[in-house]
Structure 1
């Protein structure tokens, strides 16, 4: 059984721990938090004894094989790099890193530590319904476009309205709607259709200068995909992939709980399955399978890494298009 260490003690970390343990392949052994009291509290809830509030000690002394990183976006890069340097496998929440320069540095670090693996926790890619949609797209005579919507009001936006700057709405922490909910939509678009030939992002900025919502236009040679993303309002619209007279309709392109195919005669067929109760179960199983047998799952791992690389590049390009920069280096790159 693989031993798991975690960075981050929020709800998504707990969800991954529950999925990992439900898979039968993982055992939580080690908890890190900047506040030792919080680490101990979270560890006690999960019946774990080993806790740290020093990151170097966590990696050098912790008894785990792989680390799951669910810290604020801007911290992912340095924590993942440090994990690899200590010969730990890495599972990092999306977005894995902020830009292609950081992605390239992690690639170099992986090359220097060939026994280590790094996964971006893009959970829907590992789910059955994501693959069912891709299979159905391949059967359609012609794709004419798609509209994918994921807009969900964030309770942390209340803090923004109150004059505060929570991490997910902060440029310093690589926040914003595109870097949060938008990652799901970009993974869908790239996973199902590949990279576009041109991309444009029109953001609606909040008081903190991150995008609270926005519209991304992805231009492909023969069709266009529109991504509607937001954390400052709710949308209950379904999402569609349009063929000639047929279409795929999804209740939510991130959750993919309900997926149906409307054929050319108007008949509707459910092509999705009932999702797992824990949406992170499929990825927990897949990551364990690759770590336990990297040779047998080499192609899967390489495909996931390339998809992650492409998503990272597209997210960066969209932010550049929308003039959203997390640091001076990104701003200077845009000016060239």
Structure 2
């Protein structure tokens, strides 16, 4: 059983806690918030789902991160705070000898991420970045189908991955406010919020590109509201990644080969995988709707289950593969930001 402490009380933390508790592998032990009232409300909301709810156990609440990470009852910390705080909070948690599940984007720079992985190794604990989509059953079906239906990576011509979702906070920006997600001082922008999912998917499916170039739409705040990222591979394979928080898109994400086309309606929380055979002119459904995704909830159960397995079995090999992936994703995203002047605090 993983004894969990959480930093952050937003909707993503709620979704993770519910999903984690549904696996029967986690117990929520503690909650941090700057506001004690907020922490207590969150703890009360999730206490009924705790595996320990039938005992005298109560969820602790903290307004000090130092107190939370030094709590002997906690072995793993889940961090879903504003992007710019990830590095310092993960560093503090790892220093205290806790496993860390860190929401994306892990850090602002590869240098910061390298520091965290080195610290985790020295403490013999796990640092796992929360890429929920690459753990989803339907995403795994998509990855397998590249070999079984398209003839493998060498047979691919191109791919187009989308994640474009209108944010209500965009209207706040238009009204003159500065939400964190559109504030470079808080590590914001569409690329690091939604676009990074497409980068993570592309690198998990196709490997690390030889080169990349980002074409952002910059906002009045200086951050990117959306954009197009082109990944180019040595064999002339090209991947087009499109993301936006300024509008919605219903365009599917697709992978192309002369043998056919693989298609998913969304690149995360994947609701179905289909294969189009251009010769037979037939569509084959390879995977239907993922029943793990409930209305209004994210599919985090597969991710939570795999993280519990890695931590419980001390599977350093699997953790190492995820480490390489996290580093390569951040390398592409950091370069794309810097080349377009999308710089966070502390960057020259």
Q: Structure 2-normalised TM-score?
A: 0.91
Correspondence for 2:144 among 126, 131, 135: 135
Q: How does 1:184-199 map to 2 (within 5 A)?
A: 184-199=197-212
Which residue is equivalent to 2:334?
316
- Aligned match of 1:44: 44
Pairs within 5 Å for 1:320-331:
320-329=338-347, 331=348
Question: Distance between the aligned counterparts of 1:103 and 1:31, measured in 2?
Answer: 24
Kindly tell me: are residues 328 and 16 of structure 1, through their superposed partners in 2, closer, same or farther at Cα, counting changes over 3 Å? closer
Q: Which moved more, 1:195-204 or 1:61-70?
A: 61-70
Deviation readout 1:218-245 (Å, 9 max, x if unpaired): 1112221111100011111112111115
In the TM superposition, residue 323 of structure 1 has moved relative to its aligned partner by 2.4
Correspondence for 1:334: none
Query: Where does residue 256 of structure 1 map in the other structure?
Result: 270
Q: Does the CA-based 8 Å contact 1:30-1:62 persist in structure 2?
A: no
CA drift at 1:274: 3.0
Aligned pair in 2 of structure 1 residues 280, 199: CA closer, same or farther (>3 Å)? same
TM-score, length-normalised on structure 1? 0.94
Cα pair 1:149 1:252 within 8 Å, conserved: yes
1:13: which partner in 2?
A: 13
Tell me how far 1:143 sits from its aligned partner.
Answer: 0.6
2: CA distance, partners of 1:113 / 1:299 = 17
**Structure 1 residue ranges without an equivalent (≥5):** 332-336
Structure 1 contact 83–89 (Cα < 8 Å) conserved: yes
Segment drifting more, 250-259 vs 146-155: 250-259
- Of residues 171, 175, 180, the one that matches 2:184 is 171
Match runs of 1:208-287 below 5 Å = 208-221=221-234, 222-265=236-279, 266-275=281-290, 276-277=292-293, 278-287=298-307
Runs of 4+ in 1 over 3 A off after TM superposition: none
Equivalences for residues 88-167 of structure 1 within 5 A: 88-114=98-124, 116-139=125-148, 140-141=150-151, 142-167=155-180
Residue 81 (structure 1) shift:
0.6
Judge conservation of contact 2:156–2:257 (CA < 8 Å) in 1.
yes
Alpha-carbon deviations, 1:116-160, whole Å to 9, x = none? 101100001111122111111123241110111111000111110
Check if 1:34 corresponds to 2:44: no
Alpha-carbon displacement from aligned partner over 1:41-73 (angstroms, at most 9, x marks no partner): 111222243100011111123621101100000
